[in-house]
Amino acid sequence: MFVTHSFQIPYDRNIYKELRTMQREAASVWNDIVREATSYYFACKKWVSKTEIQAIRKQTYNLHSQTVQAIADKYAANRETIRQLRKTDKKAKYPWRRKYYYCIPLKKASMDISTNTITIKKVDYGFSLSDLLTKKKKKNWNEKFPKQHTSVVIPNRSEEHLDACNYAEIVWRNGAYWFCYAVQIPEQDLSAHEKKVAGGDLGEIHAVTVATEDRALVLSGRAMPSISQFRAKALADLSKKMSRCKKGSRQ
């Protein structure tokens, strides 16, 4: 059985700066994939395959190759989901929106996990794309790409052993970076436990109520309406203040 957990990456100026740069680079990968796949579809009336996308994007960005492949996998999965949705809903749109930041997907080969730290691998090229195109215009240019393997080290605050972690993501949530991961845990053998029939009821105040012949379990959900109400009040306050503003005003 797979379970998903996450922990907040403690603030460090250098770490957050590196992760922000990787987010922008991941957004560049996503935008290039969306643009090229859409142009290919309009030109050839068919979608470019995931293997071809990965081959085109190879050794092009300052990210680990497995991270670039993971972004291509996410695009292919997104495209397949939209294809299924369009069978019943023609308003569903394929990916088209330009992104400025994107989550950082990590496969097992793109990170080294120890007891105290998690090392995120990346690659830095000596030339930017504009400099590379300028150098290629020169005659007899045969300089190799200066490629450097670098990394970002974050503390390991997970409660589980991440030796068997094959996939993770770094996302921005509520003003901080979070390391989200999936691990496989052994399933418990429940064959020796006594089985009873239970009845359940779903509600708003009490999210779940489950009862058997001799026991009952009530999960309260009063926090959910409170959070929703606070969010609505905050948005109403912001909307009230924004309605007084004029476009181009300095106030």
This prediction has a pTM of 0.71
Q: Say if CB 103 and CB 34 are below 8 A apart.
A: no
pLDDT at 59: 74
Q: Mean pLDDT by 10-residue block, N- to C-terminus, for the chain (251 residues)?
A: 87 95 94 93 92 83 91 94 92 92 94 92 72 60 70 91 88 94 77 79 83 87 84 94 84 71
